[in-house]
Structure 1
């Protein structure tokens, strides 16, 4: 897994809000990149609903939140519509983005690990933690940028 201070790998991928090019956001705003195992599971839904419910807090830092997993665009769109997510869910077909960030797979499962990265405007990783991180912890890290 990439560590704090590493340069974030650039990527381009389809999402629920069109094609996302990470390079379009570097230098403009901090990015909260959430790798989550699967759409529609209780843990992942809870994690992303916490982001949805805290959108005004993320907006204070002008932070762009994006979710990433290998589900299809159609599945991401259905999940986002059902849950009212207004942030992009990125399709990581083949796991290229996951691999570039050093995010592993769950042992014995086809799903990826749950990891949260914050990428500063300088393009460097400012926060890198495994698991479902509390909103307060992510906001504290954003405040330190």
Structure 2
């Protein structure tokens, strides 16, 4: 897992909202990266629906949200459409992004860890936490990053 103060690895990948290039946000937006284990699973659905419900608050704090897991775009589109996610879900099928961010595997090889990173406008990790932090905690962090 990357630590606060580390430079965030840049990547470009396909998502439910088209190609995402992290570099385009550096200097312009704060970035909330949510590494979640699986599409349409109970905890992941709860986590991303909580983000969906407060997405306008995150946008008002000058942040973008990006969800990432190894599922393909077909799975991501179905999941996103079913629950009305306005933020992109990235397909990390080759696990390159997960590995760059130090996101490990759980249950042997089945699922990636659940980790949330917040990247400041300078491209530095400003927040790193395993698990499913409350959206209020994420909002507090993004609101306190210049």
TM range (shorter): over 0.9
Shift of 1:107: 2.9
Aligned to 1:4: 4
**Unaligned residue ranges in structure 2 (runs of 5+):** none
**Unaligned residue ranges in structure 1 (runs of 5+):** none
Distance in 2 separating the partners of 1:144 and 1:133 = 16
Distance in 2 separating the partners of 1:89 and 1:73 = 8
- Give the structure-2-normalised TM-score: 0.97
Distance in 1 separating the partners of 2:115 and 2:18 = 23
Deviation readout 1:1-52 (Å, 9 max, x if unpaired): 1000000000010000001010011111000000000000000000000000
Matched, 1:78 2:78: yes
Question: Within 5 Å, which residues of 2 pair with 1:113-132?
Answer: 113-132=113-132
- The 4+ residue runs of structure 1 with deviation greater than 4 A are none
Note the aligned Cα RMSD (angstroms). Answer: 0.8
How many residue pairs match? The answer is 145
Matched, 1:18 2:15: no
Deviation readout 1:86-107 (Å, 9 max, x if unpaired): 1000010111000000010013
Shift of 1:109: 4.2
Tell me, what secondary structure is at the counterpart of 1:127?
A: strand
Aligned to 1:51: 51
Matched, 1:87 2:79: no
Q: Which has the higher strand share?
A: 2
Distance in 1 separating the partners of 2:35 and 2:53 = 18
- Give the structure-1-normalised TM-score: 0.98
Distance in 2 separating the partners of 1:38 and 1:119 = 23
Distance in 2 separating the partners of 1:25 and 1:142 = 14
